[in-house]
């Protein structure tokens, strides 16, 4: 799996690279810090499995340049990860084909969950969240991604995170992120509550 990470702040790139290696154990992380680096990596690399892109970095005008980037990478998921609170900019990038916008101020577990959701085919926006912002629950299984549904099925069978990781060929860390995300989405407080919920809906 090849991931292109574009951000002009080395400390953020380093932290994000660690996070993505935890999520995607086989990932090759390719880093760029400006527009020239972005274009160089696009030209010399085969199709990318994921692009993680800051919206504000040297030489890049998101409103003008993002549509062209989307055309160059028509099949690669692109996640914009930025400090911006400019709703017009966020809406413009999403309309131009971004798979997600994720605020850099979001909780790490929410950032990870968003990445996994995008790789499951979802499109989403995770805006800046303060400690008072609580994810709203839902009793609708359609709000879960396919991978979260897989994890829920294994929870219903009583499997541990390590056992689920072996079944799905992913890391236990990734399973933990999926579990946290589905608990928040379904407004459930624990794994046992998730198992009961799943059993009541015919999961086995």
Q: Stretch 158-186: mean pLDDT, rounded?
A: 90
pLDDT at site 140: 64
pLDDT at site 129: 56
pLDDT at site 165: 92
Look at residue 78 and give its three-state secondary structure: strand
Strand extents, DSSP E, the chain: 2-6, 28-32, 50-53, 56-57, 60-61, 78-82, 100-103, 124-126
Burial class (CB in 10 A: 0-12, 13-18, 19+), 164: buried
pLDDT at site 138: 46
What does the pLDDT look like over 33-57, one tens digit per residue? 999 999 999 988 778 999 999 999 9
What does the pLDDT look like over 123-154, one tens digit per residue? 888 886 543 233 344 456 777 888 999 999 99
pLDDT at site 28: 93
**CA proximity to 181, closest of 138, 144, 142:** 144
pLDDT at site 87: 87
What does the pLDDT look like over 178-202, one tens digit per residue? 998 888 888 887 888 888 888 878 8
Helix H or strand E segment including 67 = helix 62-72
Query: How confident is residue 108, by pLDDT bands cut at 50, 70 and 90?
Result: confident
pLDDT at site 130: 42
Q: What is the DSSP string of 86-117?
A: -HHHHHHHHHTT-SEEEETTS-HHHHHHHHHH
Ordered domains of the chain (ranges, CATH): 2-126 (3.40.50.2300), 141-200 (1.10.10.10)
pLDDT at site 204: 65
Percent of the chain past pLDDT 90, that is, above it, reads 50
Q: For 36-39, which contacts have Cβ atoms below 8 Å and span 24 or more sequence positions?
A: 37/6, 38/4, 38/6, 38/69
Cα–Cα distance measured from residue 91 to residue 125, given in angstroms and rounded to the nearest whole number: 9
Mean pLDDT (the chain, rounded): 87
**CA proximity to 170, closest of 20, 24, 2:** 24
pTM of the model: 0.75
pLDDT at site 57: 92
What b/e readout covers 28-62, taking b as 16+ CB neighbours within 10 angstroms? ebbbbbebebbeebbeeeeebbbbbbbbebeebeb
> Cα separations (Å) of 154 from 42, 149, 188?
39, 9, 16
């Amino acid at each position: 799996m090849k991931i292109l990470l574009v951000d002009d702040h080395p400390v953020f790139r380093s932290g994000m690279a660690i996070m993505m290696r935890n999520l995607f154990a086989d990932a090759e992380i390719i880093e760029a810090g400006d527009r020239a680096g972005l274009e160089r990596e696009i030209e010399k690399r085969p199709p990318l499995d994921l692009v993680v892109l800051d919206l504000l970095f040297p030489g890049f005008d998101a409103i003008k340049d993002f549509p062209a980037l989307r055309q160059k990478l028509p099949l690669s998921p692109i996640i914009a990860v930025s400090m911006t609170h400019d709703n017009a900019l966020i809406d413009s990038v999403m309309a131009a084909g971004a798979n997600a916008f994720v605020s850099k101020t979001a909780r790490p577990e929410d950032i990870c969950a968003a990445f996994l959701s995008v790789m499951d085919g979802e499109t989403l926006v995770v805006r800046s969240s303060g400690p008072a912002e609580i994810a709203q629950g839902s009793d609708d299984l359609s709000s879960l991604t396919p991978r979260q549904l897989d994890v829920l099925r294994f929870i219903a069978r009583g499997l541990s995170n390590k056992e689920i990781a072996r079944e799905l060929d992913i890391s236990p860390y990734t399973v933990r992120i999926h579990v946290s995300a589905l608990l928040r989405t379904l407004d459930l407080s624990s794994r046992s509550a998730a198992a009961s919920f799943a059993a009541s809906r015919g999961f086995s």
